[in-house]
Each structure stands twice: as C-alpha cells, then as structure tokens.
Structure 1
Amino acid sequence: MPPISALRLLALAFCGALTSCHTALRVETTRDETELSAREKRHMAALLDEVASGWDGMQHGKSTARRAAEDRYENALAKFLREWDSHQCPRYWQSGTEFTSRQQSFQIELTNETSPKREVLPKQLDQLLLASRKRSRGEDTLSERPGLGVPVVGHIYRTDTTRKEQPFLPPNGGNLTLTAVLEMADDDADPATPRRCRLHLHDALNVETVKVQSDERLLAANFTAAKDLALSKKSLGLFSLLGLFYPERTLGDSHLYCMDGYDPKRIPVVFVHGLMSDPHIWLNAVNAISSDPELRAKYQPWYFLYPTGLSVPQTSARLRNSLQQARDYFDPDHNDPGMSQMVLVGHSMGGLLSRMQAIDPKDKLWDAMFRKPPEQLDVSEPVRARIVSALKFKPQPEVKRLLFITTPQRGSNLAGKNIVRRLASFIRLPVDTLLMSQQLLKGNTDALSPQIRDWGFFAFLSIGTLSNEHPFYDGLNAVPIPVPYHSIIGQFGRKPLLESSDGAVPYWSAHLEGAKSEKIVPCWHGCVERPEVVQEVVRVLREHLQESGRIAR
C-alpha cells in the first residue's frame, strides 16, 4: 500500500473515533442528591466502630500498639469514606448526620468554613476518591509522605456551572490533593449521647502537620494520585490527533488550566505540549515538583491545552490571551508575588509558543512574512486585526524564564518533506482561519512573502510554520529573548553533536546562543518523560528560585 494511503486510513480512522468520543472530555454531570438508607447507615456505623477503636488505641499503650491502632483507624476510615461517597455525593453530606451501630451512635460534624489553603469542604466536591498506592505507569515514582490520615483526591466535575465559577478548571475536572482525618471526641460512655466526630479534609499541599489531642502529628499525603487523574492519558490523550486534524472541534477547550487551587504566593509553571500531543506528557515533571517539598511550596503547575493544527503565530496569540485572562482573573491588581515570576516550559512546537510570549517583535515578524504594511492589505477589518495581533504584540510581563525542550528554533526540514505535506492535507482548518487564508491568498499576492504565496494554505498550518523554509523564522530569530532561557536538546544516534538530531529537530535548529544552559540528552524527540529531562526541569526551577530570591519559604 502506498504510504499516503496508509496515512489517509490512519488519519480518518483516528479522527472518526476521536470525534465520536470527544464529548467525554468536556462536561460531566453531577450526581443527584441521594438520601442514605437506614441499612446503609447501619453498615457505615459498624465501620465507625472500627475507626473509634483505632482512634482510642492511638492515644494509649506502647508505640507498637499505637501504630497498629493507627493502621486500624486509617483502614476503617478509608472504607467509611468510600462507602459514604458511593452512596451520596459529598456535596450533599450533611453536618450532624448520625450513624448508629449495635454498640454506639456517632454524629459526624463537617467543617463549616474553609481556612484558606488548609481545608476543603465536602460541599465543594463531587467525588472523594481514595488515593491509589500504585502509579498508572509502573516505572514512575510514587510520591508519598508518611503520617496520620487517609490520602484522598477531591474531584470536581466540569459542568456548565463550574465552568462559569472556575474558568480555569481543567476540562476533565479538578483533582485536589487532600488528606482526610476524622477527629473523635472523648467517649463519655453514655449510650444515649452520640459520640461527636469532626471530619477534616486537609489540603495536603499546604498542611504538613495536624494536632491530635495535645500531639502535633505529621499529616499523611499522596502527592501523585491527583496528578495521575488530572493528566490522565485516557481523557486528555483524545485531544492530540483530533486537535491536529480537526482543530475547530477542540477550540472550545483551548485554554490555560490550573491543576491546583490558585495560590498568589506560588509561581506558576506553565507546561506547553507540542505537535500532535497533549498535556499528559508532563505527568513526570509535575510529579517531580509535587514530590519535592521546596518546589511544592514555591510552584503551582499549570498547562496550556491547544489544537496543534493551527499555525504557530495563531496559537501563540491564543496562549497570550489565556495568560492575560489568567492575570486579570487571579491577580487583577498585578500584585501577586508568584504570578510575577512565571516560568514557561515548552516541548517542540510548545517551545515556540512559549518563546512568543516573552519577545517584543516590533515589525520583525510582520516584515518577514509581508511586503506591505497592515493597512494596505486587501482584507476585512476582523481579518486584519487578527493577523496584526498574531504578529505585532508586546511581551507578557509576568513571564520571567523559558525552558525549551527539543524545540525547532529555526524550524525542521522534516516538516517540508512530501509525505509530511500530504499528511498536512488532511488538516481541516477552522472556518475563520480558512476565510483569513483565502482573503490573503486571493487579493494580496503582491503583499505576501514569496514562500507563503507559493505554499498557499500549507503556510497557515502548524506543519507549514514548523518548516525551516518558512519565513516566520527569519523574523523570529531577529528578535532577542529578553528573559533567561534554557535548552534541552536530544541527540539520537551516534553522529557528532553539530551534525546530530533528535529524529525530528536537528541540533543546528534547537541550539540557541545565549542560553543560560544547554542540556544534551541521548534521547529522541519525544523525550519529555525521560528521567534526565525531568531532572533538568527540576534543576532549572531551583535556579529560578535562587535568582528570583525565593529560596526561603
């Protein structure tokens, strides 16, 4: 079978399948309120008997006996929480709910008001999931902290309501790193009086210790489970091919997303994926941040999700708009110390999008692609405004450092090969992009760069702007990068460094003079999840803390 026939079948098969299931990515339906039955309450009360036995045993006896009691307490509490969640959505849990076993009665009180960055209320959650002790990928590291309590993930569905209330909530919902502790009052031995209990859902990213009786105890935590769910390939992986071949169908989800609740003191690290990819590739890097106490205290991971079929200038404009929206939403006065020290980490095409946030191109990008000024183009005003915003812009002031991973800073000769150009022919441009391209190509041939004029629609696709022959790079590389930047470059094979490539991007393209550091890794282009790459990301983030004066917590 000729290569193009195979590509056609592959593209159509994947895109057809993804189109049919894409709605699962976008909106979930909140579970209805369900009352607990008497039978369910009795079963849960029996579990509370075990919780109480373990709690009381933790307060007395030898250390070995106290440890055994703590295990009994946590195992029973985990079962109790799983049962309650399975029968009733946490949003509908009621303070004062009583559970009566054959031995005694219990009254569960819920915290009424959340302390900033310390506790989350059940009414804020749609599900309470026990944190898994296993990774979704066996070779990766599970980050845990031993201590008291049951690590859980507080899940928030993305519904029409939550999308309005929390515009930066990820498309597959929010996943909070929590630890449950059921604090039990002393038993007064009066069978007519329910034993009072208070359920705490501690924010494990911000709470390290809890007070039990008169003792200060380390709080248990699982820092990986929430990130496993947040960056699940099962949900986000649907985006990669659909975003390349049918970008219009994914534009509604093209946005910047926060993986944890916003913290004005923590520095956002924005991860930007590359061509035909999605944010699940950042799981190991995000887990490395969450598992390091210093980085966890200083950084908050965000990611940018975008359809990769559109050109670099168009998509960089979307990222710019998202960053501006986030700044105006979270930090309208522009006073938050964390927001003002943002770091962007981009892989491949994502590195180009990140670079475009820090530079001030003036007329350099425009002059590289057009032979006439904007006002002389024969296009509609909306099209003119769109082109100008993509090529003439100011740098984002909050972006203070860039990290490029296998980024084609001068394009790639792979993008210009015939087989790749044929693959690009399957990309279905959004209507507005198609109309913009038609207007430019129809009445402005004398205003276009000769390369763009000759390429036609290919010049306005992502794959086109990744070609080293695209005039975009003449303008891009004439503009200085005004913030510190670092490069991670893949060397795949045994060729000398200057002649090497990662299989997609040659060294001569990925290398940038003036980089604060350049890390060569013996990996192919898709190396983001490799340990040596993750270690370098961590190192650069530590360097950023040192140079920004944010070392001390």
Structure 2
Amino acid sequence: MGRERSCAWACVVFALLLAGCAGARVKTPSREALACSLDATRIPEANACTDAWMSTALRGRSHWTQGDSRINGSRVVVEFRGLSPYFASEVVITRADDVPVWIPGGVRHRQPGFGVPLAVISDRCDDAPVCELLPYSGVFRPATAWLEADAGADARLVIGNPLRLPTHRVGATEVALAEDTTAAYAVGMRESPIGRLAIWGLLGGDEVAHRAGVYLMEDYDPAKRPLVMLHGLGSSPLVWARLSNDVWGDRSLRNAFQIWHVVYSTDTPLLVTRRRIARYLDRAFEILDPERDDPAREGIVIVGHSLGGVIARLLSADSGDTLWTASFTAAPSALQGDADDVRMARELLVFAPYPGIRRAIFLAAPHRGSPLADRWYSRIAHRLAGHRADEMQSLRRIARAHPDAIQPALRQGFQTASINSISTLQEAQPVRRANESLLPAPGIAYHTIAGRRAGARPEGDGVVPLASALLPDAASTSIVDAGHDLYSSPEVVAEVLRILRADIASARIARRTHDEPQ
C-alpha cells in the first residue's frame, strides 16, 4: 500500500504541474524535474497518472460526495463540475475502462482527450416532481476526472461533465475532454430490473404498471427535441440499448435529440395503451415545461417496435370517426350512459395526433395484424394476459346497459371486458381492421423498416408478415434480412440514424427558409 500511495501521489504532482499549477502546496523532489508550462504531447502521460491515482482511490471507496476528503493519504477537495442536477449528493463512481460493453456487437463510443472517463450513478430522488421521470435503477451519466491545484488543499479532484463542458483549459490551451458515453449507460442498464419484469407486464403483473411512464435517459434540455422510443409486446426499453448508445455516440445527434424511453404494460388493448402513453407524455411536459413554451414540444420523433410501432402510428394519426363507427351504432352525442364512461369512450376512440410529433419510425410493426395472434399459443396467452384495464370497464358498463349501441361483432368483448393487447392484434378484430386505415396525419413524415427472414411463411420476419409491416406513402421503406428483433440489427440502427440525420438537415432548411425575408 505504501508503494501504491507513493506512486499515486507522484501522479497527482505530475498532473498538477502539467496544468501549470505553480502555486500548488506540494513538496517533492520531482517537482523541479517537471515543467509547469503546458506541453500537449504530455497529456497522455498526465492521463495515465490520473488514471492510476483514480484506480487506487476507487479501491478505497465506493461512494463519493463533494468537499474535503482524505484520499490516497492526501488532502483532496472533490468537486462535481457541471454534473447532472438530478444526481443525489452521494454518487457511485466507476472507471469507464472497468465497464464492459454489454450490447452484443455494440460499439463503445469514446473520444480521446484530457482526463479519465468515468461512469457516475446515483440513486433516484424522491423529493421533486422530476424524480418520477428518472429510471428506478438510478441516474447514470458519463463524467471525466482530472486534477487541479487548490490553494487550500494538496489537490482538487474534478469530476466534470464532458457533454456540458466539452473543453478544459490546460495551461494556455483549450483541450477537449476525454469522454465515454457507453459506459454510464451500460452501468445503468445493468442495474435495471425492467427486462425481467416485462413479461409479467404482459400477463397483468403490477410491477410494470407501477413503473409505467416516460423516463429521461439524460438531463432535460428545453432546446433539444425528444426522441421517444416505444418497445413492443412483453418487452422493455432495454431493446433500445444499441440505438440509444449509437445516438449518444454521435455528437450531432445527441446535440439535437434527447432520448425518452417509455415503459408501459403490454397487456392492455391497443387504444387503451395509446391513450395512456399520450397521458405519460402529457405528464412529462407538465413537469418539465409548465409554461408550455419550450422548443422541445415541437419536432418530436417517435420510434416504435412491433406493438410499439402500431401505437406510434396511432399517436401520429387523426382518427376522425373511423374507430367510433367501427365500435358504436350511435353517435357520441346520442350515446346513453354515465357521462364519465361516455367521455372515456370518446377519448379512446376519437383523437388527434399527439401535439408536436413531426416524424415517426416503425420497426416490424403489425399495422394489419399478425397471424400469430390467432395461433393456439396466442389464444393461451390471451387468456393469461391481463383484462383489468379500468378504461375497458367504462366500455363494459355502456355495453351492458345499452347493448344495441355496440356493433354486434364487439358486443361480447365489450360486455366482458375481455379485449387485451393480443386480441387487438388479431387480423379479423373489427377495431384493428378499422385502425389500419389511419395513417400519420399530413405534416408527419413516417418511415417503415421491416424484416424478411429466410423461409418465413408468410413472407416476413417470422412474427409480422411483410404485408402487415409496410405502409403506403412512407417517406422511406427498408426491408432487411432480419427476424422480428431487428432493433438490434446494425443495418436497422444505421437506417434509423440516417433518418435522424436527414431530419436534422430538413429542420435546418425549414428554419433557414422561415427566417429569410419574404
């Protein structure tokens, strides 16, 4: 331990001197051997020393706070500079190099520069409204560590945010901070239980329902546009690992978009889920932008896989009276029943596009249903899946009190509230058949990405037929050699990134055109 402390302390001295800290209170013979002026070619040496010092320090403690500390036998002031305001006062720090890339085939996104990349995580807060928008597994963010001089201590250890403070002055020169955007996300996802809870959400389990909502994967920025990701049946936001990682790894994309993951129970009927997710988005904006004037409200891009893709389409569509007439024989104004039940029926079946959505991307979405929803194993799953949606109880009460107001093909399902997510994907289901005609509203560009697996019958990804996944008049259509889990395909992720970059370019052109004198 004595040799490690001596080595680490030498690294502190080296890093301080490299930064031009002639006033540091360090007394050591090596001081005269090092120049205080910046030599950019020596930054790698300084980083190596800081890394060795941090490695020793992290072995001695797991939880860190700001302020004076005794670290590696020295008095050090710890400063959190530009870190997330969502962090608790105490954080857990891990060297990025100690975090494996957990995405199969995924890319580790890191940039060289000054300092040592870290992953920082803290517990989820519970004392402010924004806390409900933070993942249960905690707040995880990239950070970078470096050493500076401090007049009142032996050194200052800075844990800084490389995304908010991309450069740092070393001597007389501004240098880029080193960054690793993959490590922090890997730590956060490793801690998340949502993957193992997802299947229970399909079967009516309460845990996912309790966690349902919008979750911020990064600090809210009122100027950045939400990239909203919707997972599929029996799934979770973990499916977006590769896409999220690659968006963060691209500076232009992460400067334009902020990633919002949505967690939802996948046992409820399609239109119930559409309504709930709209409410989750409403709640997020209510917390983040109570004045309702942030640019983030405009230009939302929504991407959905499988069931999530169908929901994304419905969030982008104007229903008109299509779904109402497919369900009821009476107009909304003539429907008899409790006022709250009638209001709920209207909210489920009559809707406009969610405000601010500008672009939608559908991955392997069964817009025209899936034949698997009619197979014997799907019928068993249908019996197991939850049937307890409160929204369906409104339709149940209306159907029992006024059966003649319900279309005959739906009467029994409404009266027993036995409609759920699986039944609403059946090809012959009346409301599903009606909603397949609802395309995104004018002004909302949309893209379809579908899989074609060799030997699949009917032609498609083995779950969703190609004919069900493709939509007319799409801004782009891609068919890839992949199964239903194509969200992890490098080709699919690259296509989504291409769409996002094109969206940035089109937004830039639109702004320039708007700003030009008429």
TM-score by length of structure 1 reads 0.80
Q: CA deviation at 1:143?
A: 0.8
Q: Which range moved further: 519-528 or 240-249?
A: 240-249
**Hey, what does 2:139 align to over in structure 1?**
174
Aligned pairs (5 A) from 1:6-25? none
- Report the alpha carbon displacement of residue 436 of structure 1 after superposing the two structures with TM: 3.7
Whole-angstrom CA distance in 1 between matches of 2:244 and 2:168 = 26
1:447 deviates by 2.2
Q: CA deviation at 1:328?
A: 2.5
Seen in structure 2, the aligned counterparts of structure 1 residues 390 and 204 have a Cα distance that, compared at 3 Å, is: farther
Aligned 8 A contact 1:119 1:202 in 2? no
Note the C-alpha offset of 1:312.
Answer: 0.8
1:485 pairs with 414, 431, 446, which one?
446
Superposition pairs of residues 54-93 of structure 1, within 5 angstroms: 54-56=14-16, 58=18, 60=34, 67-81=44-58, 83-84=60-61, 86=62, 89-90=63-64, 93=65
After superposition, the Cα gap between the structure-2 partners of 1:233 and 1:160, relative to the gap in structure 1 and judged at 3 Å, is closer
SS where residue 161 of structure 1 aligns?
coil
Name the counterpart of 2:489. Answer: 530
Structure 1, unmatched stretches of 5+, are 1-39, 187-192
- State the alpha-carbon separation in 2 of the partners of residues 82 and 165 from structure 1: 33
Indicate whether 1:388 and 2:353 are aligned. no
Q: Which runs of 5+ in 2 are unaligned?
A: 20-33, 512-518
Give the structure 2 partner of residue 214 of structure 1.
172
* Corresponding position of 2:404: 446
Q: Given residue 475 of structure 2, which amino acid in structure 1 is its aligned partner?
A: K
Is the aligned partner of 1:403 residue 2:372?
A: no
Aligned residue runs from structure 1 range 272-291, under 5 A: 272-291=230-249
Q: Tell me the distance in 2 between the aligned counterparts of 1:233 and 1:441.
A: 45
Corresponding position: 1:260 with 2:222: no
3-state SS of 1:257 partner: strand
Which digits, 9 at most, give the CA deviation of each residue in 1:380-401, with x for residues without a partner? 4433332221212232221110
1:40-86, Cα deviation, whole Å (9 max, x unpaired): 9x9997675144133146464687765334302222124324534x2
Say which is worse superposed, 345-354 or 52-61, in terms of deviation.
Answer: 52-61
**Counterpart of 1:7?**
none
Query: Which amino acid is 1:476 matched to?
Result: N
Letter in 1 for 2:212: S
1:95 aligned residue: 67
Which one of the candidate residues 333, 337, 343 is aligned to 2:301? 343
Which of the residues 111, 130, 152 maps onto 2:95?
Answer: 130
Q: Following superposition of structure 1 onto structure 2, how do residues 62-461 of structure 1 map, counting pairs within 5 Å?
A: 67-81=44-58, 83-84=60-61, 86=62, 89-90=63-64, 93-98=65-70, 101=73, 105-108=74-77, 110=79, 124-131=89-96, 132-161=98-127, 164-185=129-150, 194-195=153-154, 197-232=155-190, 235-374=193-332, 376-377=334-335, 379-430=337-388, 432-433=390-391, 435-436=393-394, 438-455=396-413, 457=416, 460-461=419-420
- Contact 1:344/1:354, CA 8 A, preserved across alignment: yes
Structure 1 residues 43 and 253, CA gap change in structure 2 (3 angstroms): farther
User: Aligned in 2, Cα 1:65/1:347: closer, same or farther, shift over 3 Å?
Assistant: closer
How far apart in 2 are the matches of 1:447 and 1:47? 82
SS at match of 1:382: helix
Please give the alpha-carbon distance, in whole angstroms, between the structure 1 residues aligned to 2:13 and 2:156: 16
Aligned residues: CA RMSD: 3.0
* TM-score of the pair, normalised by structure 2: 0.86
Identity of paired residues, percent? 26
Q: Residue 242 of structure 2: SS of its match in structure 1?
A: helix
- Whether 2:14 is the aligned partner of 1:49: answer no
More displaced, 374-383 or 394-403?
Answer: 374-383
Partner residue in 1 for 2:25: none
Deviation for aligned residue 1:455: 4.7
CA drift of 1:275 comes to 0.4
Distance of aligned partners of 1:64 and 1:154 in 2 relative to their CA distance in 1, 3 Å threshold: closer
Q: 1:266 to 1:479 in 2, by over 3 A?
A: same
CA–CA separation in structure 2 for the residues paired with 1:328 and 1:424: 35
Question: For residues 311 and 455 of structure 1, what CA distance do their matches in structure 2 show?
Answer: 11
Kindly state the Cα deviation for residue 523 of structure 1 after the two structures are TM-superposed.
1.0
In the TM superposition, residue 294 of structure 1 has moved relative to its aligned partner by 1.0
1:418 to 1:97, Cα distance in 2 relative to 1, 3 A = closer
**Could you tell which deviates more after superposition, 143-152 or 472-481?**
472-481
Kindly state the Cα deviation for residue 322 of structure 1 after the two structures are TM-superposed.
1.4
| Whole-angstrom CA distance in 2 between matches of 1:198 and 1:551 | 47
> Which one of 443, 468, 472 corresponds to residue 427 of structure 2?
468
- Give, in whole Å, the separation in 2 of the partners of 1:342 and 1:44: 51
Rounded to whole Å, the distance in 2 between the matches of 1:234 and 1:66 is: 36
Q: Secondary structure at the match of 1:289?
A: helix
Instruction: State the distance in 1 between where 2:47 and 2:145 align.
Output: 14
